[in-house]
Structure 1
Amino acid sequence: MKIATWNVNSIRTRLEQVIDWLSQNPVDVLCLQETKVVDNDFPRSPFENLDYNLYLSGQKAYNGVALISRQPLIDVSTGFSAVLPNLDPQWDEQKRVITGVIDGIRIVNLYVPNGSAVGSEKYEFKLRWLTVLREYLRSLLLVQPAICMCGDFNIALEAKDIHEKVNPENHIMASESERQALRDVLELGFADAFRKFTTEGGHYSWWDYRAAAFRRNLGWRIDHHYLTPVLYERATSCIIDVAPRKLTQPSDHTPVIVELGIGSGA
């Protein structure tokens, strides 16, 4: 089974690129972030013409996540509150979470808040959002041990995930508080699929549009697949496909694909 994650930075702007990529790379599940469109306006037909099923959670102009799957998914839900019913509604005002099950594997597709700047209100919101994510996953794990958590995490967990040395005290996406919040999530039993196969630095999934960052490979690795042990053992590859980033007017992110070998989902 192949599962891809891709922050497309507007599905309507990037539709042709996404469809071309999916036609050439017919993954089992494609997890999209930053779709930036309400569900009724999502361009469904091109995906349905490729025999994919769509599960959407979008909003106008910002955020938005989608699961696009060859097989129908079961137990699909959006937001945290489907699992944490007593949660403050503010945590689901932004469309950042969607999950579903395929072949006994629960896929959790996330668009983690960026945080804007260390110390800002948006930064504090990001840290609290990650604590809510931890409780959400803890509840999911009680009934489903096979989870692939993927998406745009807006956090580079290690120094080698960034092209340059940054001060972890004041750099957004690399501050120690952000990294620790993500580590706390991963301590529930998740491991980085990419690092199972590639240990060296220099591999990135996001490059700023400015300063010819992609051409100079001045990137960050902030898009991840995190797997629970039963799936981590099954992982046979995890790659970053940089080809879409070379296109004209691309997303600033590029797809990351994990492949799971045959095994019992649970």
Structure 2
Amino acid sequence: MKIATFNVNGINGRLQVLLRWLAQAQPDVVCLQELKASDDKFPQGALEKAGYGAIWQGQKSWNGVAILARGAAPLETRRGLPGDPDDSHSRYIEAAIDGILIGCLYMPNGNPAPGPKFDYKLKWFERLIAHAGELQAAKLPAVLVGDYNVMPADIDVYKPERWVDDALFRPEVRDAFHRLVALGWTDALRRLHPTERIYTFWDYFRNAFARDAGLRIDHFLLSGALARRLTAGGVDRAVRGWEKTSDHAPAWIEIGDQTSRRAPPAKKGLTSKRRIPR
């Protein structure tokens, strides 16, 4: 199973980019973030025509998450992260697909920090940690996928010294990410590529993509049962160079069947097996 994540930065404005990438990369499951569309504006018909069933939680102008499944309908298991019934942000949706539980998330940005937005981010992170602990306790084959808005280590940011006070890199946020992983989750891309600079986001400003001034903020965390089946992963970074594209590139992993016991050794190269032309 090929599982991908893509912060589309507005699904309707980037729909042609999304459809082009889906046709070429053919992922089995896709987690989308930043739909920036209300539920009734979600392009369900266009995605069904492309071969994907979908569930989604929209929000007008902001946030929004969705899970797509190729040739299937995702079985929704949760809508919204537990722990705060008054939270109105559309940031988490969960589904079962072919025996794997897929949690699609869009972590709050948190800037400016310190401040109320940063406090909300930290509280949301604690709710995610609590839910992730329950999933681990249930010993489910699960993956928590999406835009975490955190660079876990210096290697995940092009110039760490410039980000020390940013909400995506502050020690409180990195500590929360490491506490989440310590529950038994595997950071899939870092497991496969332990020493490489892997970026999934390049700002629109200051020619960031051309300079490769990027960040790794889109992650796949695998439960213990699923980590043993990890076989490959990378970033379709060429998509970031397409016209009218998102400031994120799609990232992906591949999960083998249940006979797979161990992730392969680290491999070089972060482009999709299916070549994505500019």
User: What CA deviation, in whole Å up to 9, does each residue of 1:167-193 have, x standing for no partner?
Assistant: 675222111100001112112211111
Instruction: Please state how far the C-alpha of 1:90 moved relative to its aligned partner.
Output: 2.8
**Cα gap change, 1:43 to 1:146, in 2 (>3 Å):** same
Instruction: Please state how far the C-alpha of 1:232 moved relative to its aligned partner.
Output: 1.2
Alpha-carbon distance between aligned partners in 2 of 1:131 and 1:28, rounded to the nearest angstrom: 30
| Alignment of 1:4 onto 2:4 | yes
Instruction: Please state how far the C-alpha of 1:137 moved relative to its aligned partner.
Output: 1.8
| Alignment of 1:161 onto 2:156 | yes
Contact 1:104 1:264 in 2 (8 A): no
* Structure-to-structure mapping, 1:85-234, within 5 angstroms: 87-91=83-87, 93-166=88-161, 169-234=164-229
The one-letter code matched in structure 2 to 1:49 is K
- TM-score for the superposition, normalised by structure 1: 0.93
Match of 2:74 in 1: 73
Contact 1:106 1:148 in 2 (8 A): yes
List runs of 5+ in structure 2 lacking aligned partners. 261-278
Alpha-carbon distance between aligned partners in 1 of 2:192 and 2:136, rounded to the nearest angstrom: 25
Alpha-carbon distance between aligned partners in 1 of 2:246 and 2:225, rounded to the nearest angstrom: 32
User: What CA deviation, in whole Å up to 9, does each residue of 1:96-123 have, x standing for no partner?
Assistant: 0000111221111000000012211101
* Structure-to-structure mapping, 1:19-58, within 5 angstroms: 19-58=19-58
Instruction: Please state how far the C-alpha of 1:203 moved relative to its aligned partner.
Output: 1.9
Contact 1:106 1:144 in 2 (8 A): no
Deviates more, 1:46-55 or 1:11-20: 46-55
Instruction: Please state how far the C-alpha of 1:30 moved relative to its aligned partner.
Output: 0.7
SS of residue paired to 2:209? coil
Alpha-carbon distance between aligned partners in 1 of 2:154 and 2:144, rounded to the nearest angstrom: 22
Match of 1:62 in 2: 62
Alpha-carbon distance between aligned partners in 1 of 2:112 and 2:177, rounded to the nearest angstrom: 17
SS of residue paired to 1:214? helix
* Identity percentage of aligned residues: 35
Contact 2:136 2:223 in 1 (8 A): no
List runs of 5+ in structure 1 lacking aligned partners. 82-86
Q: Alpha carbon RMSD of aligned pairs, Å? A: 1.6
Match of 1:235 in 2: 230
**Cα gap change, 1:169 to 1:26, in 2 (>3 Å):** closer
Aligned residues: 259
Alpha-carbon distance between aligned partners in 2 of 1:146 and 1:184, rounded to the nearest angstrom: 20
Instruction: Please state how far the C-alpha of 1:50 moved relative to its aligned partner.
Output: 2.1
Alpha-carbon distance between aligned partners in 1 of 2:223 and 2:162, rounded to the nearest angstrom: 31
Alpha-carbon distance between aligned partners in 2 of 1:60 and 1:177, rounded to the nearest angstrom: 30
The one-letter code matched in structure 2 to 1:143 is A
